[in-house]
Amino acid sequence: MLKGLLKEYEYYLKITKGLSSNSISSYTTDLKEYIEFLDKNYLLKDPEHITKQHIRNFISRLKRKNNSPASISRKMSAIRSFHKYMLIEKIVYANVTTGISLPKKEKRLPLVLSVNEIDALMIAADGDEPLALRNRAMLELLYGSGLRITELIELRLVDIHLNMGFINVTGKGNKERIVPIGDEGQYALKRYIEKGRSELKTVMGDIIFVNNRGNKISRVGFYKTLKRLAIKAGITKDISPHTLRHSFASHLLENGVDLRMVQELLGHEDISTTQIYTHISRKHLKAVYEEFHPRSNKGKQI
């Protein structure tokens, strides 16, 4: 029964919640592990027979297998969502996930690039070839507009309003937001659409960013491209497309932009998600103080 419910839940995530295929895959992978644990260890197939102790035992097993606190929290998030769905559908009449404590997650600050590193990355991507024009435009939108990589590769021509300087973005849960494009982003995107995309685009459709075969560029494809550009730029940090989004938010806050505005630009539903960047900003300010103020230890060495 649980395996059958998982299929129905997958459909619910797609149709009702509007989650992306990547998010749905992540949820179902974690839930399959959970359901297999219940089946193998307790021959448990009826959700009404699941108890808090079963879930605690599953968490203990994850700890024994050296899953990180972040990984356990992610799996537990999927389990909570699944049990909440069963409660909504009246498949069960109590949510046994309430009150279950989890190991504390280590708070790690997101990796960001300095302004100089961003400049070096843009220079590394520069060029007049179609793929170079594409890469520069993608970098400009990731950093200049703070897009997620999925949002970027799903952009269509109808979403772009170059003359007005903004784009329509469809984010998590199919929620739309309007995001401004800076002058550099507008210029790079215009050059790519006019001089690059037409040479790369050999199949029908209005997807903006395509690979050398004219098909929509994949997340993995751009990740590999970004890695090559980082090496060319002399950047030793282990960056990903999301690093540019982190850098976008961090640099805005460092320059005095209100946190609520950054939340809106990023498309965060909860401002607590955005607040992580205030820690980065404070860290930056502290580093500047220690480097230059005469009352700091480093400052006294100047």
Catalytic sites, residue numbers: 148, 172, 242, 245, 268, 277
Q: Which two tokens stand for residue 123?
A: 């220079």
What are the residues whose beta carbons fall under 8 Å from the beta carbon of 40, sequence distance 6 or more? Answer: none
- Among 274, 273, 272, which Cα is nearest to 261's? 274
Angstrom distance (rounded) from CA 217 to CA 225: 11
Angstrom distance (rounded) from CA 26 to CA 82: 13
Q: Which two tokens stand for residue 90?
A: 């009246």
What are the residues whose beta carbons fall under 8 Å from the beta carbon of 92, sequence distance 6 or more? Answer: 47, 48, 50, 83, 86
